[in-house]
Structure 1
């Protein structure tokens, strides 16, 4: 459409950026010929356009803003991020000084630890405009993987936010680690599923560490839910996945996961049982561990960010 508009402008002569009508009218008329069913085709054509100068792009943006005064329009990604940041700063300025404390609802992680995890979340809607909420806790809801799945499903349906943080405390209480996943836990899925925004992490013992998806690995073993176990991050030969919990949420395993480039999450010596080495050239270590508590945090909309 831009090329057509440029051709029309050359025919009539001069630069039509400052005129009423001209390129803008042509763009509007061509766009009207593309119903929603043709949106995909329109996008394909749009992405073929190259070599637009900054002046041309800025002129088009000014024209679009003028035509859509008073309306919420789609803007450049940088502009959206700037708006998000402005709203975040404004909300922080009016929030209590102990902001971290009043949003911390976890029974296992401190406010500072939750803040560390939220900084690793790539989804702006979750990281900036949502608050964590406990949707499952073994000491409240029982040690049942089936209950975990059910409550996560109910939360996802009610809020439209399937993302969750899984927190696992070891028997000694010296270990605290888990995963952030982007999809609801459901046994209806077959095999591993999820997205590259998922990650594994360890909060204790320190240092805190986040293991994000390694795109170069070309592996997408993000999360898996079965009746017998919950898993995050596929393992290597002879070893368990990055994190696995059994159906009773009493026992777990952890080993290196090529998907996330992670090592065994259990580092406190007193928590490591049934240790072994994977059958690979590095002989990476893995182990089993006993679980003291499991908690799942979901996300709800933060009213303080609503305009």
Structure 2
């Protein structure tokens, strides 16, 4: 597949004399002998493999070299810890003193114009100006002198008729030792375009921003409320300044608006910030859209169920490809459950803890190959920790990591190991790609087995998610208040894409007391089971009672406590007809967003013995109704409180006499972004 080496429609300058930059002509005139890839004629489209070869063989096209080639000097001895890496903890600080500095973050595209291809940033138009970009050669991305890589001078590049993906993968894994920020930007854009990113189309992003904010311009503040796809415990911004973080939040808000099926993607914010270090916000948005839509490479998890499957897949892969390291973890963790909790947090190792220099080199391969690179990286980190722990600097002295494992938990040691990783990016990649017998076929096989295991477990999601501080320490009073246990709260928080723990507690106050101590059990969710009324009945029909939760595309969250099971619709009356309406007076409606409201049955006052209660009419006792074409909660007076069509994707809410409620959706009609149904299981 050929990919144009261009940004914003402007081809890379080409041609021997006047097309290539002056730096190259100066280097050639000064007698530079380095072999270079032939210059393509003006306007010619580059293949992806040609792009990588050009980046390797002539960094002057992309870099900052502006004079004769420097004299060759002996390579310094390799150091285990690089002294010239970018910044400190995590590699997010300023560049090393003496290194050329470039503006970090993405250049804002004013009036739809692309940012300059030059290594110098546009004046006053950069995001994150307080944080320098990576610069060659001391950019934190490992530079090792004297190491030839495929396609470099002295070794002819492989024929282009070979499989382009295999060639590019090979070069990205082993060859990119030095790239400045402009070259890496070109590389990432070309790889994303190769996989289908529509980088020239910025209309969708601009139109959505204008619809959300009223105008299109630089982000001037944080998104309020916080975008649903940004999670507090995956908030690594890779050194962007405030404007860059605001832009990343805006991109996530646009993604959530245009992709309602994406409900949970922990690394999405960090990936967005990393892209913004090298490209503008429209290109970053289009790259993320490609990553979310590319099911073949499976870049990002998009639901909590997929997140659960991912860590279970990693467990199976480690047991197959890193048996010794898994036994090592078991020995120090003390139990299989502790190992599972460690591996459940595996994506934070890569996107939150690894130094910037390592993440950037890993991301080169990740963009090209997809999710399997992340699994390789996680296994490599476990293997490296095992090796470093087993290494004894002295015969009678344990290693530093062995001492830490004796003093701290495995989770804490893994975090420290990733932050202070004692190997270079090149060594990390070498360890990743020397794991034998690992292929996409074995990954897919492990993925299918993990998915079937979850189904066999009843669909419960068990991965540990950090609990907000304001929700901790309240367990002692829960039983007295008829509230679910902390474990039940966390279970719902992990499994629901609609409500959080705080909203659960507010809703639970209205649940009948005999069910208040039960654990919520997710029976149906459109994010995993699709929008289908038939599937809804199959999974929910026999459970009583149930809680129906709806989140619309406009952000409203409302629903109903349904007192009767939905299979009642098929029960026959004495005259042979089916139930038109069913349910009891315990049924009630509620709204959680934008504000909390509960609407109980209008006959509750009479049922409680109020002397002045008026006799109830038939239209005030219409609780639930369902057939093969729709389901309804509430009726009477010509409207239904909640009505859903057979696809469960569209609905309407009106006033009804059974609950005397206002429309739960401000505009009446609504589109469903997510629908969930919970049952009640004994604690």
TM-score, normalising length: structure 1: 0.56
Determine whether 1:180 maps to 2:570: no
8 Å CA contact 1:235–1:242 kept in 2: the answer is: no
The aligned runs of 1:212-291 (5 Å cut-off) are 212-215=600-603, 217-218=616-617, 219-237=620-638, 240-267=639-666, 272=667, 287-291=668-672
Q: CA deviation at 1:103?
A: 4.8
Shift of 1:289: 1.0
Pair 87,184 (structure 1): closer, same or farther in 2 beyond 3 Å: same
Matches within 5 A, 1:1-307: 88-89=479-480, 100-104=489-493, 105-122=495-512, 124-128=513-517, 130-154=518-542, 156=543, 162-172=544-554, 174-186=555-567, 187-189=569-571, 190-206=579-595, 208-215=596-603, 217-218=616-617, 219-237=620-638, 240-267=639-666, 272=667, 287-302=668-683
Q: Deviations over 1:19-51 (max 9, x none)?
A: xxxxxxxxxxxxxxxxxxxxxxxxxxxxxxxxx
Give the aligned length.
185
Alpha-carbon RMSD: 2.6
Is 1:235–1:255's contact at 8 Å kept on the other side of the alignment?
A: no
User: Aligned in 2, Cα 1:101/1:227: closer, same or farther, shift over 3 Å?
Assistant: same
**What does the per-residue CA deviation read over 1:137-189, in whole Å, with 9 as the maximum and x for residues that have no partner?**
011111111111111135x2xxxxx10000111112x1111100111112304
Assess if the C-alpha contact under 8 Å between 1:106 and 1:297 holds in 2: no
Q: Give, in angstroms, the shift of residue 256 of structure 1.
A: 0.5
The higher-RCO structure (CA 8 Å, 6+ apart) is: 1
Unaligned runs of 5+ in 1: 1-85, 157-161, 273-286, 303-307
Cα 1:254–1:103 shift into 2, 3 Å: closer
Corresponding residue number in structure 2 for 1:62 = none
TM-fit CA distance, 1:100: 3.7
Query: Which protein is bigger by CA-based radius of gyration?
Result: 2
CA distance in 1, matches of 2:557, 2:480: 31
CA distance in 2: counterparts of 1:294 and 1:148, whole angstroms:
10
Cα shift at 1:88: 2.5
Which structure: greater strand fraction? 1
Distance in 2 (CA, whole Å) between partners of 1:150 and 1:103 is 21
Compute the TM-score of the two structures, normalised by the length of structure 2: 0.26
Question: How many angstroms apart in 2 are the aligned matches of 1:163 and 1:178?
Answer: 14
Give, in whole Å, the separation in 2 of the partners of 1:170 and 1:214: 26
Secondary structure at 2:657 match in 1: coil
- 5+ residue gaps, structure 2, are 1-476, 572-578, 604-613
Compare 181-190 and 226-235 and name the one that shifted more.
Answer: 181-190
